Amino acid sequence: MKKLALHWKILIGMVLGVLIGVVFSNFEGGKEIIQDWIKPFGKIFINSLKLIAVPLILASLIKGVSDLKDISKLSKMGLRTIALYIFTTVIAVSIGLILVNMIKPGNSISDKTRKELVQNYAENAVKYKNAAEKQKDSGPLQALVDLVPQNIVKAASNNRNMLQVIFFAVFFGIGLILIEEKKAKPVKDFFDGFNEVILKMIDLIMLAAPYGVFALLAALVVESPSVDLFKALGWYALTVVLGLALMIVFYNTLVAIFTKKPPSFFMKGIAPAQLLAFSTSSSAATLPVTMERVTEHLGVDEEVSSFVLPIGATINMDGTSLYQAVAAVFIAQAFGMDLTLGQQLGIIVTATLASIGSAAVPGAGMVMLIIVLQQAGIPEAGLALIFAIDRPLDMCRTTVNVTGDATVAMIVAKSVGKLGEPKVKDWDDNYPKEE
Ligand code: ASP
């Protein structure tokens, strides 16, 4: 019998997770059972993905850069990658702003609900505000300074420092190109083999993915706040989700125009990474799988994917920037503020920068939202308004973030002649591959 494709298995795991979560929320002690006996498996699954992220970036990026042979190719690819990342982010923020101005979700929030929400979540808002303050205290060039680690071991010991590890790997790869071929070969061979091992480890971890997402979603459901709060925020959530859906359409259009690949090919190829992004709310944790899918299933040469994707996971967050734009205007509307055109243009700039600065972990977009609010002069207390529904929206925006990275990887690959036929065809997807 034909084996079920991985994305179906993950989807079944997700649905069962939600169902079990709902069932166990409805009787006494059910929440604790899930927290004690199911949640840890979700944690183990995420940990194993994160565990693989730093070695993966190191191995694949060093291999990728050193394969390039000459450095001018690297700068060509680098410029295109960054330009596309900024372009898609600006489009995302603009879509968000247009929708939120059309739908006006903030106007449907009554005074009473607003006060309730602000009261319920005021404490959390303060916590996030402190985190944002720390980030804001630094000077304008701090991001550049942060790029260069003083110690590679220290940088590699924290998944938040992914850009520093990328910097080291690219630098190392450039060094490798510049030394004598005879000396470079063993080093290259080592990273080649290392890379293969890591890819195999990802295959193995993905065997557990359906169970991992089952545990993650069951835990999420028993821990989520009451449905009533969700209802009050329904229009706001709808605006964000609609914007995110439009972004997926936009990506498919870009892929079709630039690479001539149909949406069914793109979506099928990337689906497991999307589902994982949805379940983990973390682009960083999803990165190993995004790399694997884009390389093996979408036909992007590793030279390109190993460069474009790790950078994308950290700086290209279209879903996050769209959400920040909608959230900022929604809060302004709920507080009865009218934003001028200038203020809205300011939101485009800050939301773009803030999404670049957001870490690729759950909830990071919300911390950076504070900076967007402050810049536009919108009351920060409004953050408490959107807390209740942030996690589900985080799941959706992370899915878009990951899809955006894959889109850019395909376009850049096509533009440098590195988009080929996929190694694994999804229509006979026996994944992980059976040897
Ligand atoms: N969780 C998102 C990501 O990892 C970032 C965010 O919007 O909070 O891509």
Asked if 17 contacts 280 with a C-beta cutoff of 8 angstroms, the reply is no
Q: How far is the CA of 393 from the centre of ligand 1 (A)?
A: 10
Question: What pTM was computed for the model?
Answer: 0.86
How far apart are the CA of 48 and the centre of ligand 1, in A?
Answer: 19
pLDDT at 251: 98
pLDDT digits (tens, 9 = 90+) for 176-233: 989 999 999 999 999 989 988 988 998 899 899 999 999 999 998 888 766 666 666 8
Residues 6+ apart with CB under 8 A from 37: none
User: For residue 164, how far is its CA from the centre of ligand 1 (angstroms)?
Assistant: 19
Other Cβ atoms less than 10 A from the Cβ of 418: the count is: 18
Tell me which of 220, 247, 281 to substitute to probe ligand 1's pocket, judged by most ligand atoms within 8 Å of the beta carbon.
281
Nearest partner of 368 among 109, 93, 165, judged by Cα: 93
Q: Which atom of ligand 1 is nearest to the CA of 323?
A: 7
Which ligand 1 atom minimizes the distance to the CA of 284? 4
pLDDT value of residue 435: 37
The closest-lying atom of ligand 1 relative to the alpha carbon of residue 401 is: 9
Atom of ligand 1 nearest to the CA of 283: 4
User: What distance in angstroms lies between residue 394's CA and the mean position of ligand 1's atoms?
Assistant: 6
Assigned token pair, 433: 């591959």
pLDDT of residue 163: 82
Query: d(Cα 36, Cα 223) in Å, to the nearest integer?
Result: 12
Helix, strand, or coil (residue 35): helix
Q: What pLDDT score was predicted for residue 292?
A: 93
Other Cβ atoms within 10 Å of 110 Cβ, number: 10
Of 274, 278, 320, which is best to mutate to test ligand 1, by the most ligand atoms within 8 angstroms of its C-beta?
A: 320
Annotate 292-324 with b (16+ C-beta within 10 A) or e (fewer): bbbbbbbbbbbbbbbbbbbbbbbbbbbbbbbbb
pLDDT in the model for residue 422? 85
At 273 the pLDDT is 96
Tell the residue number behind the tokens 């995110």, with chain if given.
244
Give the residues across from 300 on adjacent strands: 419
Protein residue closest via CA to atom 6 of ligand 1: 365
Going residue by residue through the chain, which has 435 residues, state the pLDDT in tens, using 9 for 90 and above.
Answer: 457 888 889 999 999 999 999 999 998 899 999 999 999 999 999 899 889 888 988 888 888 888 777 778 888 898 999 999 999 999 999 999 999 999 999 887 777 777 777 776 666 677 667 666 666 666 667 777 888 999 999 988 887 778 888 899 989 999 998 999 999 999 999 998 998 898 899 889 989 999 999 999 999 888 876 666 666 688 999 999 999 999 999 999 999 999 999 999 999 999 999 999 999 999 999 999 999 999 999 999 988 998 899 989 988 999 999 999 999 999 998 888 888 888 888 888 888 888 887 777 788 888 888 888 888 888 887 888 888 788 899 999 999 999 999 999 999 999 999 898 887 765 444 444 443
419: helix, coil or strand?
Answer: strand
Is residue 38 within 8 Å of 215, Cβ to Cβ?
yes
User: Tokens 């996971």 identify what position?
Assistant: 313
* Ligand 1 nearest atom to the CA of residue 359, by list position: 5
- CA distances (Å), origin 78, targets 65, 304, 305: 11, 10, 12
Beta strands in 202-321 (DSSP E): none
Q: How far is the CA of 271 from the centre of ligand 1 (A)?
A: 18
CA 2–ligand 1 middle distance (angstroms): 36
Distance 423 CA to ligand 1 centre (A): 30
- List the domains of the chain with CATH numbers: 70-178+225-415 (1.10.3860.10)
Write down the pLDDT at residue 430. 46
* Ligand 1 midpoint to CA 179 (Å): 39
Residue nearest to atom 2 of ligand 1 (CA): 398
* Residue carrying structure tokens 């982010």: 89
